[in-house]
Structure 1
Amino acid sequence: MKFQYKFQNLLGTVYRNGDLLFTPDGNSVISPVGNRVTIFDLKNNKSTTLPVESRYNYTSLDLSPNGCTLIAINEEGEAHMISLISQTIIHKYRFKRKVRCVKFSPDGKHFAVCKENNVFVFKAPGPYSGEYNAFIMERVFHGAYDETTCLDWSFDSKILAVGSKDMATKLYPIDKYANFRICSLGNHTDAIVGCFFEENNYDITTISKNGQTCIWECSIDPKDLVPLDMVPSKKKKRNSSESDEDDVDATKALERTEEEITKALSEVNVNDEDSQNKDISKLFYKRLARHYLADDVRKENKEAVLTSAAYHKKTKILVTGYSTGAFFIHELPDVNIIHSLSISEQKISSISLNNTGDWIALGCSGLGQLLVWEWQSETYVLKQQGHSNNMSCITYSTDGQLLATGGEDGKVKLWNIHSGFCFVTFSEHTNAVTAVAFSGNKKFFVSASLDSTVRAFDIIRYRNFRTFTSTRPVQFSCVAVDSSGEFVAAGGQDIFEIYLWSVKTGRLLEMLAGHEGPVSSLAFSPTLTSTVMVSVSWDKTMKIWDTIEKGSAHETVMLASDGISLAFKPDGQEVAVATLNGQISTFNLRTSQQVASIEGRNDLGSGRSETDLITAKKSLEAKSFTSLCYSADGESLIAGGQSKNVCIYNVKEALILKKFEITQNRSLDAVDDFINRRKLTEFDNIALIEEREETEGGNVSIKLPGVRKGDMSARTIKPEVRVFSLQFSPTGQTWAAATSEGLLLYGLNNSYMFDPWDLQIGITPKAIKDYIHDNDYGNALKMALKLNETNLIQEVIESVPIKDIELLVGDLEEKYIQRLLVVIATFLENSRHLEYYVCWARHVLTFHGPKINAQKILPTLLALEKSLLRKNEQISKICDFNKYTLQYVAHLGETLSKKENNEPKMEVDSEEENDLEIREPSDEEID
């Protein structure tokens, strides 16, 4: 078993808070998901989370015009310059304050950052600027009187427009010009939300929080801007006080009146002989119109506030989002409404448009919702939403292709591992879902909830086809399906009984009593020949049942502490139990004897919450593992709980093999072991002080005593880092963890791993290639499998003629078969030679199938099944499309041929024939 697991993807969280971006080609959306960044490929229907992690949640993002460099800034002001080619952080910079907005210039030479009332302009590294050192500051502007909120560049990257909370928009020149210094646009009565330049001129549109939209016209064309360097030396000398002024301190420029600027420009024209015939016109703005966009929204809700805006310069489309969850599309400059839609009841936090203006990306931070809407056809390109509350449980399907998750919001979701998208959501439960379990045949799965129901969902038809209930209302805390898929069992939390139902009839078969505390976990034996069920409870007991054959008769095993979670070994011979004292105990089911014990409390680790009155070391005494799962080969055990750590143990040796830290996000609570000294004052921890707003009863920063999951109506708290559920994939290649961050997937990356097997001195790449050259494919394949280099194995396999595969596979020894199947399953995922590798798989299973120990190499067989099923799904769609297309073409050809056969001769020809018959010769022709 290999443990080089690396972070692979993040599911269940599609948007948290911050800026949404489209890539330059318009086919992908970049979304901040907490302290990570996810790219949603809309063309290929796939999501990928970058292997980059910040110490706090990302809020401000922007992408360079060439689509290679991403700047992401977190809520504490730490900026990361990320290369999307290598998917790594190439530079870091600390602004030490919250950053509101970041924007690249259209020419890619600069990027601007808004912090407090300042605007910083940096040189962007790359071929456009000729600079390869990151974050070289070029200009700083201090013109705003309050916090800056938004910015935009002119089309030629010469002017920067910055909106702020002081209800004004300032325009700053990047270079120095004779007829333009700094301009301020007012006339708003609330904070500026967006300011947008037009495509080929300096006209600008500004939008404020109350929905006021002002359209401004510039007095000059872009070509009329006169750089200060082009003014002759006399003018420079006369205006040396102006030229020496740096835009770093723009207050002087702001204090100058229009008369002074006009006088200075007139002196230039009068005193300079060379420029007497040259007209230098001053740049100023004239307001053409003012519109009130929020009036339509406030008819339904008077408290509606404009929260976000985006503008597409080519098509002149303006999109505005509101706190009511509605968005409107207007056409500028007439501000005609052309489309509107309400997507939720939460505010729209961010809006973005793609390069053609057809797709609109909308993010709602309250629901964690991400939508891509095509407004012309009024269809969803992408509609994804995670669980609105914590994800409480997960389970893999038997082939490892699907994941089912249950949340505290009462929803059950199915996820595709390959694409990373949720493709169906079930919302039949009316309370928190506590457990989910797949059937062995992958046709359905069941979920238990605190609403006193256990529901079975059909994966093929996407419907709830069975609802199991008890004789009296019970809050179900756990659920299990037997290996045959005929029986479902669930344990009660408030009534200490286990209930057994038949899936076919839906009838309650047994009520198993015996536990004296809440049933925390139960599971059926995974083997087909066994009908054993095991349950653990808070009454410090583990009970072994054979309900199908012996009814309520059971065997009791005493535990050292309260039982919290259990997991069966894949062969069904052993079971592992996690108890409240932080230990993991394994038992042999036949003898009911304890086999091993793992002391894992110190490995679990513990962080200190901001409002904790005890240290992390003391709180560790109350921590324990809450989720367990065996690896696919049964040699290892993965465990997690009320901590940021996930541990993998060797069961036989009772030793820890690997520890994973699932997050370093300080935006979550209880990540650090110590409280920052800055938060400790003479009045103790400052986090224990309630921070109310001016009006009493506003948002309060600390949580209610004893509350861990949050009180949404009264107080806002930081979620506490925790692992709610863990699951190993049946193929053994990945494992998943349901955490406060979302659903994290970790997988093995075998491409960079040299792992030889039974290696000898003569086994070298040169020797293998010599065997291939001599057509000795058997020895070449055996040596390549021993060397275990992917490229070499692929070269050997693909050099074997298809007619020789059957003979070669028949001569292979049994010890090579498992490794060969793993290789075939891997190549089936990515290779174009589908039929060729299917032939290899067919011959291997035909010759060696009866001799294969299926239980021993079950993960390999499941990996092969997963590859074949995925290819089948992909090709079947193409085949169906081609089949129906060919049927349509054939039918169309038949219809056209019938029309041609039924049509009469052309009228023109018939008239010509009649003319020839009727026409008589004239007298001249007779003569």
Structure 2
Amino acid sequence: MEGDDGLNSDKVVAPALLALHPLCKFVVVCVGSQLRAYNLLGKCQVDVKYPSAQSRHEEAIRTITFSGEGKLFVSAGDDKHVKLWDTETWQCTKTVHASKKVSATAFSCDSKWLLYADKFGVVYAMSTKLQGEGLASSVVLDQPVNLLAHCCSIITSLKCTADGKFIVTADRDFKIRVSVFPKDPLQGAHEIEGFCLGHTSFVSCIACIDVGLKSQLLVSGGGDGTVRLWEIETATLLDTVDVRDEVGIADGNFESDAVIQASAITCVCVSCDGSLIAVGVESLDGVLFLKCDLKSKRLMLLQKLVLAEHFCPTSMQFDKNGWLWLVAGAAQKTDSCKENAVTWVKVVSSSLDDTPVFTPVELESIPGGSLLFETLDGTDSDVNKAFALAEAATIAMKNELSKRQYSNEHREFRKRLRNDKKLQRKV
């Protein structure tokens, strides 16, 4: 399918990603194979250092993550390269070659282990220590170990709880798995604590609420248009908010099938104190804010903030000051193998009232101002292109994660064409 601007939604399209340093030292935006970083304290662009031109990401980056204390950063994606970065120097200190395309990453709570998941449903663990430390070249090739697997289902999101007890993984097959973090990851994570079951379509994103509660909480969003709150240890569903009505309000049509089909949750994030949840929804030019009552363990809609026409966030994160950073846009490779990448970054703040009101932050109040946006948005920040690419990225995600439905006749026809049937052994 091709739109008016010539973009082909059937091609590989990668949504823009955003990550914030835990102490607000850096903000990073990835779009396609490009890695853009800005120093919020020094108010300057970060020079990301690769050991060589060949060590750059060759394909789309699909996941980026800072470690808990912010000393490490990881990027990985379609080129099957997992790259570990030292955020003091922004040098790539370790590169691992995965066997499949990487879909999610996370650090253990002590940052000693890096976990990454691939599109075959396997989670691997690798040490973050440098074997070549002190040598002229510290880039080494480690052999990751198989930690757990999801039986050939694409893993969409991966998190480690702040208390170090659990690994939480979400997948295409509507489920969220809670596994016990092993004492020795080299031996694998064989103990399953439970499954969070309730979504009726793919689970697109998860976020942990780590605020020192007796029971850790989890927020999830999915292709069914719902945001769900869970208790991690017992895998109990605590509350559900269906956002499809909010999309319907925006369009003035509650009964439209198109509205129902175009309401997948694209991203969720939780404020540092766990009281606020920001939600990105397909076809919503802005963001939904939910209140999380930590005592009653319930979710409540606070505000639907429409930011600008064609601004559908593809990634977002709260900083330690309560500001919400959002990015919209995506990257697509053209027929000439050139990368068409467009991003659009915005920042939102809230009032200090009991019932906060969220508004966009003025340019002069953001560290670095126009230089920050020039660094993160790049040279091409055309709004229409950003919208078209982000929409194409969402369609590509849904096509990949949505379970295909076949009639009985079609299913039998597909069985006859299978080429993986085992040959009978001759006696």
CA–CA distance in structure 2, aligned partners of residues 462 and 545 of structure 1 = 32
Structure-2 residue corresponding to 1:742: 344
| Map of 2:313 onto structure 1 | 723
**Which residue number corresponds to residue 514 of structure 1?**
150
Q: How far has the Cα of 1:441 moved from its partner?
A: 2.3
Name the CA shift for 1:661/1:634 in 2 (closer, same or farther; >3 Å): same
Conserved? CA contact 2:159–2:168, under 8 Å: yes
Q: Which one of 154, 160, 170 corresponds to residue 524 of structure 1?
A: 160
Corresponding residue to 2:257 among 618, 625, 628: 618
1:654 match: secondary structure: strand
Tell me, in whole angstroms, the C-alpha distance in 1 between the residues paired with 2:155 and 2:112: 22
Deviation at 1:454, TM superposition (A): 1.2
1:817 aligns to what? none
Offset, 1:514: 2.7
Partner Cα distance (1:406, 1:634) in 2: 26
Deviation of 1:579 (Å): 1.5
Distance 2:182 2:162 in 1: 15
Distance 1:748 1:533 in 2: 32
Residue of structure 1 equivalent to 2:412? none
- The counterpart of 1:640, out of the listed 271, 280, 305, is 280
How far is 1:426 from its partner? 5.7
Q: Which residue of the partner structure matches residue 421 of structure 2?
A: none
For the 8 Å contact 2:248–2:254, the answer to whether it is kept is: no
Q: Provide the residue aligned with 2:225 in structure 1.
A: 582
Partner residue, 1:240:
none
Q: Quick one: which amino acid aligns to residue 404 of structure 1? A: V
Structure 2: runs of 5+ lacking an equivalent: 1-12, 51-55, 132-141, 330-342, 355-364, 368-427
Q: Is it true that 1:500 corresponds to 2:106 in the alignment? A: no
- What is the DSSP-based 3-state SS (H/G/I as helix, E as strand, rest coil) of the residue aligned with 1:548? coil
1:407 to partner: Cα distance: 1.1
Pairwise CA RMSD = 2.9
CA distance 1:490–1:519, change in 2 (3 Å)? same
User: Deviation at 1:748?
Assistant: 4.3
Q: Which residue identity does 1:400 align to in structure 2?
A: C
Residue 479 of structure 1 is matched in structure 2 by 105
What residue number does 1:846 align with?
none
Runs of 4+ in structure 1 over 6 Å off = none
Q: 1:461 to 1:419 in 2, by over 3 A?
A: closer
| Counterpart for residue 45 of structure 1 | none
CA distance in 1: counterparts of 2:36 and 2:74, whole angstroms: 12
CA contact (8 A) 2:38 2:46 kept: yes
Structure 1 residue 460: deviation in Å?
1.5
Distance in 2 separating the partners of 1:723 and 1:663: 11
- How has the CA–CA distance of structure 1 residues 396 and 553 changed in structure 2, closer, same or farther, with 3 Å as cutoff? same
Larger helix fraction of residues: 1
Q: Which has the higher contact order (CA 8 A, sep 6+)?
A: 2
> Which one-letter code corresponds to 1:442 in the other structure?
G
Out of 168, 185, 199, the residue aligned to residue 534 of structure 1 is 168
Indicate whether 1:429 and 2:49 are aligned. no
Q: Is the 8 A contact 2:196 2:237 kept in 1?
A: no
| Structure 1 residue identity aligned to 2:346 | L
Contact 1:513 1:552 in 2 (8 A): no
Which residue identity is paired with 1:478? Answer: A
| Structure 1 spans left out of the alignment, 5+ residues | 1-388, 609-613, 665-670, 672-720, 757-829, 831-865, 867-927
Alignment correspondent of 1:556 = 195
Q: Could you say what secondary structure the match of 1:602 adopts?
A: helix
Q: Which residue of 2 aligns with 1:569?
A: 209
> Is 2:202 the partner of 1:593?
no
Contact 2:196 2:230 in 1 (8 A): no
Q: How far is the alpha carbon of 1:558 from its aligned partner?
A: 2.1
One-letter amino acid matched to 1:540: F
1:169-188 CA-partner distances (Å, limit 9, x unpaired): xxxxxxxxxxxxxxxxxxxx
AA aligned to 2:199 is A
Query: How far apart, CA to CA, are the structure 1 residues paired with 2:291 and 2:199?
Result: 21
Deviations 1:274-300 (A, max 9, x none): xxxxxxxxxxxxxxxxxxxxxxxxxxx
**Aligned counterpart for 2:271 among listed residues 611, 631, 634:** 631
CA 1:420–1:742: 2 relative to 1, 3 Å: farther
Distance 1:486 1:407, change over 3 A: same
**Amino acid paired to 1:559:** G
In structure 2, what is the Cα distance between the partners aligned to 1:412 and 1:423?
10
Q: Say if 2:122 and 2:146, in contact at 8 Å, map to a contact too.
A: no
Question: Contact 1:430–1:451 (CA<8 Å) still a contact in 2?
Answer: yes
Q: CA deviation at 1:726?
A: 1.1
Task: Report the Cα distance in structure 2 between the residues aligned to 1:730 and 1:464, rounded to whole angstroms.
Answer: 26
Aligned length: 299
Superposition deviation, residue 452 in structure 1: 0.7
- Does the CA-based 8 Å contact 1:606-1:619 persist in structure 2? no
Q: Distance in 2 between matches of 1:575 and 1:658?
A: 21
> CA–CA distance in 2 between the matches of 1:583 and 1:546?
26
2:412 aligned with 1:412: no
Mapped partners of 2:268, 2:68: distance in 1: 20
| Residues 600 and 619 of structure 1, relative CA distance in 2, 3 Å threshold | same
Letter in 2 for 1:466: K
Cα pair 1:584 1:600 within 8 Å, conserved: yes
Does the CA-based 8 Å contact 1:399-1:731 persist in structure 2?
A: no
1:667-686 map, 5 Å: 671=310
Say if 1:515 and 1:736 are closer, same or farther in 2 by CA, change over 3 A.
Answer: farther
Q: Give the partner amino acid of 1:474.
A: K
**1:749: how far off?**
6.5
- Give the 3 Å change call, closer, same or farther, for CA 621–420 of structure 1 in structure 2: farther
2:305 maps to: 660
Q: For the structure 1 residues 479 and 618, does the alpha-carbon distance in structure 2 shift closer, same or farther, using more than 3 Å as the test? A: same
- State the shift of 1:657 in Å: 0.6
Identity level (%): 16
Amino acid at match of 2:227: I
Query: What per-residue deviation string (whole Å, max 9, x for no partner) do you get for residues 576-629 of structure 1?
Result: 111211001111112211111111122245989xxxxx9994322122111111
Matches for 1:304-383 after TM superposition, within 5 Å: none
Q: Does 2:25 correspond to 1:401?
A: yes
How far residue 551 of structure 1 moved from its aligned partner, in angstroms, is 1.9
The alignment partner of 2:245 has SS state of: helix
Q: CA deviation at 1:417?
A: 3.5
Paired with 2:307 and 2:211, the residues of 1 have a C-alpha distance of 29
Measured in 2, the distance between the counterparts of 1:542 and 1:515 equals: 13
Q: Is the 8 A contact 2:147 2:189 kept in 1?
A: no
Q: 1:468 to 1:534 in 2, by over 3 A?
A: same
Secondary structure, in 3 states, of the residue corresponding to 2:230? Answer: strand
Q: 1:563 to 1:391 in 2, by over 3 A?
A: closer
Contact 1:604 1:625 in 2 (8 A): no
- Name the CA shift for 1:464/1:591 in 2 (closer, same or farther; >3 Å): same
AA matched with 1:603: E
Shift of 1:515: 3.9
User: Structure 1 pair 484/421, CA: closer, same or farther in 2 (3 Å)?
Assistant: same
- SS of the equivalent of 1:398 reads coil
Q: Using the TM superposition, give the Cα deviation of residue 419 of structure 1 relative to its aligned residue in structure 2, in angstroms.
A: 6.8
Deviation, structure 1 residue 432: 0.6
- 2:111 and 2:267 mapped to 1: Cα distance? 23
Query: Structure 1's 605 and 398: CA in aligned 2 closer, same or farther, altered over 3 A?
Result: farther
Q: Which among 58, 61, 71 is matched to residue 443 of structure 1?
A: 71
Flag the 1:563–1:463 CA change in 2: closer, same or farther, 3 A.
Answer: same
> Structure 1-normalised TM-score?
0.30
